Structure 1
Amino acid sequence: MNIKMLTMGAIAFAMMTGSALTGGNTSALDDPAKMSPFFTDAGMKTMKSEADFKAAWTAMKPDEQKAVLKDCGDATLNKSHADFCAMAKKMGG
């Protein structure tokens, strides 16, 4: 009985730790509040024109721009946001 309880406790702890780690590692690229000004649709599939993108980019705070560019530097995140990252790099360096 004790081994069963210890095993269940260990599994529960592992599950809580795993979800805490993934929950704390969010990307600026996945934040709808930050990203919606760059897209024409609610599903964020169609980007705005370059001029509108530039206006939205310059409206962002410099630290938010840095966070976006940092996330675009991550190969995994860049892969799923390639078009956006290409335009962001064009705007911000």
Structure 2
Amino acid sequence: MNIRTTCFGALALAVFSGTAFAGALDSPKMMEPFFTDSGMKTMKSDDEMKAAWAAMSKDDQAMMMKECQDAAMSKPYAPFCEKLKALGGANK
């Protein structure tokens, strides 16, 4: 019985913590304003990206820049992170 409870607890922890690991760069809600398509393959123009960046809260901006500065997290989003840095995101 004790092993069953331990296994169930470990499984529950893994399921619930999995959503906590998803960051701003993995969130469609956070990324949609920067892309022209629903598949998030084509980035908007520099002016549109700058406007979307300015419309975000300072907390969201800080979270995105923190993730962009983490090499492991930003690797799949390298072009996006480079665009944010070029638009002045790194200086905010």
TM-score by length of 1: 0.84
Which amino acid in structure 1 is aligned with residue 71 of structure 2?
Answer: A
Whichever of the two has the greater Rg, that structure is: 1
Unpaired stretches in structure 1, ≥5 consecutive residues: none
Counterpart of 1:32 (choices 6, 28, 31) is 28
Tell me, yes or no, if structure 1 residue 47 matches structure 2 residue 37.
Answer: no
Equivalenced residue count is: 89
Q: Work out the CA distance in 2 between the residues paired with 1:77 and 1:64.
A: 16
* Percent identity of paired positions between Structure 1 and Structure 2: 42
Give the structure 2 partner of residue 64 of structure 1: 60
Q: What are the Cα deviations for residues 16-69 of structure 1, in whole angstroms up to 9, with x where unaligned?
A: 112222222321111212210100100111111112111111111222111100
Give, in angstroms, the shift of residue 76 of structure 1.
Answer: 2.1
Q: Work out the CA distance in 2 between the residues paired with 1:87 and 1:58.
A: 14
Unpaired stretches in structure 2, ≥5 consecutive residues: none
Counterpart of 2:71 (choices 70, 75, 89) is 75
TM-score by length of 2: 0.85
Tell me, yes or no, if structure 1 residue 22 matches structure 2 residue 22.
Answer: no
